[in-house]
Structures are given as structure tokens and as C-alpha cells.
Chains A and B, each alone.
Chain A
């Protein structure tokens, strides 16, 4: 099939960017979206042009590196990662707009590559259970009820791609932050640090310049891993309780 992609090209963090159109003639429906970009890049290189820079690594939908907004939606029309999006989701003759994540907390580095270190800093602020190596009791010392284990797992599947931030009209990182908090707060091991965890993570989230959550639910609609909105509600409750107990 033939398609046209209009891709955000920006030479560097301080440069001006713009959408640039490229026509592609031989796109196979079995190609992944990133393989389509590979084909384009190979052509650009041979034509003496700079290839499109984009983040990607595992290409299995688990590392969370890929990060493009396709036709106004993070990761494109399907609820998956860009690397797992296939060209069969598009039709012959389509014009596809490809842009980087947009958020003040995610400055563009080049083309479609943005800096997402702010998400790491939220985790650094409290997204962990303190358990230095060697201190652990036997794994069966504390049984975990299956519902709690399932809640923890569901939230732990977050891949940290940042699609929630890119989708949010406020550039809020609440879904990301709440997923990590919900994962750890659901487990018995996570209880001792429950309050400091939410206070510190929320403070870090605010300090990074992310917007606030207005409960629009755009994040949930773009999350490739289906992190539930309930996690945001739970984070709100945990935060307010922790704040009350100061």
C-alpha cells in the first residue's frame, strides 16, 4: 500500500521543528509501524538525508522505549505500543501524522525522541520497597491474598512509556505515578512506607512540572497496558490520608 507520513523533524532541543511529509510506496500491511520507519530511514540515508530519530528497543511492547503520537493519539489508533502497531491498521492512501510526546516535562531531544527522565525521578522519590539485599525473610513468610497480588500485578505491568502524559490535556503523570503506588501499596510488604511513598512521589511528580489530573480519562484510553483509572482514585485517597496524618 501507499501512504504518506508527516513526521515531526527537529534537529535539536533548541531548534525549531516542523512536520515534513514523506511518501512511501511499498508498505506491507504486515510491517510494524517502526519497520515502516526503518524502511523510510534507509531511503533517507541513501538519499543523503538525515534519518528520523526515534526511541525504540525491544520491539515487543514491553520495554516502553517507543513513544510516538500517531494521528493525535499516543501509540496510534490501537491500544498498544507503537512497536506493536502494524500497518494493517491503516489504509492505502492514508496520510499519517507522527509527532513526539508533548509535555513540558518531556523536552524534545531530536525528531521524535524526548527526555523522559522525569518519570525515573518520580520512582526514585519513593517508588520502591526498602529491602536491601540479604534482609529478606522466606518468600512464603507472608502470604498475599490473590486479589491483592492481582491488583499489584495489574499496576506493575506499567512500562513507563509516558503515553499517559502525552495523552493528557494537562500533561499530567498521575496514571504513571498511581500505577507504581498502587502496585506497592497493594502488597503487605509495601505497607510500612505507604504514606511516605505517596507523599514523596506526588511531591516529585509536581516538582517535575507535570500538570494536575482533571479526571478526563484520556490517559487510560491511551495506556498500552490498560492501567485502570481506579489507581488514580486510590492514589488520591492515599495521599489525602497520608497528608492528614502529618
Chain B
């Protein structure tokens, strides 16, 4: 009834405009998410080197520390990459938490009659799947980077560490479930990011985006699963 005179974003900078809006925060999630997908793809491809034996794999791991030399000092690239990924992850999670809290607050009362969800499983599991992925990531770093969670950690033997891991059934289980969650998250996340960034200009292109997202998710999932399966089947020993 009364006149509502609101603060208009006219005074805000580009960064403020983005950061203070729901669409802007989602765009941050989309960009950081796509960055992490790109990393996952590279990570997955690198992992496949394990099928060429310990020499190739360990050599590859060692090479990672030398990228950028001599411009960069030893392992600097790795630390820069880690920093970028960490910032991306923190931004992604911060936005997710803020948006989720806001979304829950926007719908304080549930319907007494349950709603039949139209959205897919992947869509509906983005939030809790994201939390689970976070836990998986922590475990994964403790396992194969830091080594404290690894059954038999050798600082200079990545191949050895991997093989050691996947001898243990429950580690396999954690890893397989974790990778499947990654796949689900990417499957919807890629498509969703494309919507949020407004990449789809025509309605017909929706299918293309879904196919690309699903293909990416499948490639990442299968690529990552190949390693424990390889160990379990004795292909990698």
C-alpha cells in the first residue's frame, strides 16, 4: 500500500552488483564450477597414465612439479593452481551456502500435500551432493596428497599410493561413490551453469547443452573409475 522506494543498483560497481544479487552469485558458482570441471577433466586424463605403468605415472607426477620452469620456481605452478582452485572452491561453496540459506528462508512453510518433483535426481541432489563432494575431497587430499589417510603412503611414489589404496574394499567404495557423485554434480551443474551464464540463446540448443553436460559427466566419471577398477581387476598392480 505504501510507496516503496528502494535502493537502486545505480550506485553499485560491477563487482558489487554481481555479488549482491542472486543471479550474480549463481554466475560466480557457474564460472568457478566450470573451472573446476576443466581441472577435473585434466586430472582425469592425467590419471589414465597409470595404465602405462609406474615409470610413466610417477614421471608424469614429477613433471607436474616442473611446469613453468624456468620462469617459475619448482612446484610453483602447482601451488598457483592449488590456490586458484581453492579460491574457486571457497567462492563456489560460499555462494552455495548463502544462496541455499536464502532459498530455504524464501520457502518457510512446506505444502501439506507433498509436491511431485518435476526435476531430475541430479538436480535435486545438487545441494547435499555438493556437501558430500566436499567431504570426499577432504578425504581424497588426506589420502593421496597429504597421505595421512593412506594405508601405505610413500611421498615419492604416487603409483604405489594408488595401488595401496585400492587394495582396501572400503576405500574403493568411498572412491567409487565419490566419483559417481562428481558425475551427477557435473551432469546437472554444467547444464545449469550454461543457463545461469545465459549461454543458450535459442530454445533448440537446450538438447545440445544437456548432451555436452552429460558427455562430460560420463567421461569424467568413467575416467576416474577406470583407476580403481584397473587396480581391482589386477590390470594395474
Contacts and interface: CB of A to CB of B under 8 A. Distances in A.
B23 A202 contact: yes
Nearest to B200: A233
Given A171-B107, A236-B195, A212 B113 contact: no
Q: Give the most central of A105, A167, A169: most B CB within 10 Å.
A: A169
Contacts of B199: 233, 237
A221 interface: yes
Contact of B21 (A117, A203, A221): A203
Interface string B159-190: 00000000000000000000000000000000
B195 A102 contact: no
Given A170-B103, A212-B99, A218-B119, A97 B112 contact: yes
Contact of B107 (A102, A234, A238, A240): A102
Q: Give the most central of B4, B99, B105, B111: most A CB within 10 Å.
A: B111
Interface string A67-101: 00101110000000000000000000000010100
B17 interface: yes
B26 A212 contact: yes
Range of interface residues on B (Cβ < 8 Å): 35 or more
A104 interface: yes
A215 interface: yes
Contacts of B14: 243-246
Interface residues of A, number: 60
A232 B203 CA distance: 11
B123 A124 contact: no
A206 interface: yes
Interface string A7-33: 010000000000100000000000000
A232 B27 CA distance: 13
Q: Give the most central of A125, A216, A218: most B CB within 10 Å.
A: A216
Contacts of B115: 72-73, 167, 169, 218
Nearest to A219: B118
B195 A233 contact: yes
Contacts of B222: none
B13 A246 contact: yes
Given A214-B126, A232-B195, A243 B18 contact: yes
A83 B106 CA distance: 27
12 contacts: A99-B111, A105-B106, A167-B115, A203-B6, A204-B6, A209-B105, A210-B106, A211-B103, A236-B196, A236-B198, A239-B23, A243-B18
